Amino acid sequence: MPTYRLDLSYDGSGFHGYARQPTVRTVQGELEAALARVLEPLDTVVAGRTDAGVHARHQVVSFSTAKPVDPHRLARSLTKLLGPEIVVYAAARAPDGFSARFSATRRTYRYRVLNRPYPDPLRRATSWHVSEPLDLGAMNRAVGYLVGEHDFASFCRKREGASTVRTVLSATWSAPAGGILELQIAGTAFCHQMVRSVVAFCVEVGKGRIEPGTTPQVLHARDRNEARGAAPSHGLVLWQVDY
């Protein structure tokens, strides 16, 4: 059967994550319901399952169907049903064997911290407000130790039988403007809550509560308690998926 690819973005605020759940509203649930209306009931594959409240600028979904598909019309019909919270901005026939999950070579996330004394109501759904001044240089030194292949058990929520070994390709904190500090982190894949745990750890480093040079010890400890929890979900965006 032919395989098709959807490129979409969504505001995760009103969803209990991406993955389908029986009693709550999810991105996958809404998308598959729309696909059933436009085509037929389908099982989809996603590049990265996002948690409740996490947004996506670029998410990729694949599915197979024997039904005739006009990609341009499909994208337009799905967006009409799902918008404005979910927008399917591209649809295309994919190469044989394509999987949104397993064919991906790089996933990039961005996390925004609003670092100033007072919050911003217009950014509350897309950033984590931290009022205490943060040392950007120290945060960058800490995150630099995470680049490469490591066991990220200290930064991952444990799932029975799942490996926590991951490869981080790049990780950098920057200060774009207006009190925003932004982490951009790219890897081949990420385990559950890994990026948010990295952010929470870096914020503790930025506050001066943890020395950046202790990051390798935190990694080697393979102890979830060492990473100081996870940052709030609403500051996180799945920014880009590459193939």
Q: How many whole angstroms separate alpha carbon 32 and alpha carbon 183? A: 32
Strand boundaries in 83-231, DSSP class E: 86-93, 106-114, 128-129, 148-151, 165-174, 180-187
Told to judge if 51 belongs to the known catalytic residues of this protein, a careful annotator would answer: yes
Marked catalytic residue, from 7, 43, 51, 223:
51
| Cβ–Cβ < 8 Å for 225, 165 | no
Q: What is the DSSP letter of 111?
A: E
- What's the Cα-to-Cα distance from 50 to each of 74, 122, 152, 202, rounded to whole Å? 23, 23, 18, 21
Point out the residues that are catalytic: 51
